[in-house]
Amino acid sequence: MSAKIKLRSQLHLLTGFIAGFICAFVLLLYVYDVSRVSPCWTSSSSSSSSPVSVAMDALSRTEVLPPARILCMVLTCPENVEDLARTVYDTWGRRCNHLIFVSSENYQPLGVVQVVEANGGAYEDLWNKTREGFRHVWENFGQDFDWFLKADDDTYVVMENLHHLLSGFDPDTPVYFGYKMTRYNVSYMSGGASYVLSREALNRFMTQAYGSSVICPEPKKMGIEDFYMGICLQNVGVHFVDSAQSLDGDPKPKFMPLNLEHYLADSNSTIPDWLRLMSVSRVETGLRCCSNYSVAFHYANRERMFLYEFLIYYLRVFDHNLSSGRNQRYLLNSSDLNRRFPLEDNLNIKDLIQMSEKPENF
């Protein structure tokens, strides 16, 4: 009898231990979830839920959602293929799930696809190229990807940050992402800064807007591409998501219509009046100009793209808090110094008067 009582006590103790462990684990999940910078907004329904239900809901979302599949559609032209398009291909384009260039001529080495007539690839044909580019993408890849990025060949994109922004959104909802602007009382996303369409947004553009001149501008020369796209998507019920509002606690813009130097120069003179006039978010300069999770920068030439690439992915700041084992170094003694960095023994400078080669002012 005493053995049974002892066994029952042990079972009660074990059950209590397991229950306490589970409660502590759930509480830790909750603390982590509410303290981090998270994509999207906290819904009103979840804000009134208990901490345990919020934590369990966050855990279930983390386990279920697969990585987003992003297709990058980059607009280029024949004269830019071996310069800007090649640089995109060699840098940030490698991080797209699929990269496609659209132009007025095919170019097999980079997979450039002709979507407009041979003489229709200049700036004045930007709207036509965008329309036909999306048509090609939808017909060939529409069901294979979740998100569709449209960028120009002089834009640099940080794909990891784009994944972070999109992680709080469902590609089967009609969503349109970018740097929000307004013109003629119409909202739209800056085309130069690049913008993103969800699968459902692209579906609505192609099946409802593309063929209707009533709700979506027809192909035409000098069409205002980004402004027109805003009209088309607004008329088919697509949600406009200003990137400045897409991360809780981070109200800074993340798709930049200008190159970074314009923002970092702490002076109003570097920001054109048209940008301040049309931007929905406040335009700031200096080190606080942009989000730490910025996604895209416009007006990036070949050299600037490689500069972004180096600074983001190659440059490292030494961490003094490295583990003691990795951080241990010894001072070089004289023999080590002579072996690794022997003294320079240049006979030409032993007698400066007799020095055969020297600068004029020496």
Q: What is the 3-state secondary structure (H, E, C) of the chain?
A: CHHHHHHHHHHHHHHHHHHHHHHHHHHHHHHHHHHCCCEECCCHHHHCCCHHHHHHHHHHHHHHCCCCCEEEEEECCHHHHHHHHHHHHHCHHHHCCEEEEEECCCEHHHCEEECCCCCCCCHHHHHHHHHHHHHHHHHHHCCCCCEEEEEECCCEECHHHHHHHHCCCCCCCCEEEECEEEECCEEEECCCCCEEEEHHHHHHHHHHHCCCCCCCCCCCCCCCHHHHHHHHHHCCCCEEEEHHHCECCECCCCEECCCHHHHHCCCHHHCCHHHHHHECCCCCCCCCCCCCCCCEECCCCHHHHHHHHHHHHCCCCCCCCCCHHHHCCCCCCHHHHHHHCCCCCCHHHCCCCCCCCCCCCC
What pLDDT score does 262 carry? 87
What pLDDT score does 124 carry? 80
What is the Cα 210 distance to its own chain's centre? 27
* Mean residue pLDDT across the chain: 83
The lowest-confidence range among 22-26, 133-137, 320-324 is: 22-26
CA distance 63 to 106: 42
What pLDDT score does 33 carry? 42
pLDDT single digits (tens) 16-45: 655 555 555 444 444 334 334 434 333 333
Of 156, 305, 173, 169, nearest to 233 (Cα)? 173
CA distance 246 to 39: 6
Model confidence at 74: pLDDT above 70: yes
What pLDDT score does 29 carry? 43
Other residues' Cβ atoms within 10 Å of the Cβ of residue 21 = 10
The lowest-confidence range among 31-35, 212-216, 276-280, 330-334 is: 31-35
What pLDDT score does 59 carry? 45
pLDDT single digits (tens) 137-188: 999 999 999 999 999 999 999 999 999 999 989 999 999 999 999 999 999 9
CA distance 155 to 135: 22
For residue 184, report the phi and psi dihedrals to the nearest 5 degrees: 50, 40
Give Cα separations from 253 to 13, 248, 288, 339, 346 (angstroms). Answer: 54, 13, 10, 53, 57
Which among 7-21, 254-268, 315-329 has the top mean pLDDT? 254-268
Q: In the predicted model, what is the mean pLDDT of residues 207-229?
A: 92
For residues 179 and 243, the answer to whether their CB atoms sit within 8 Å is yes
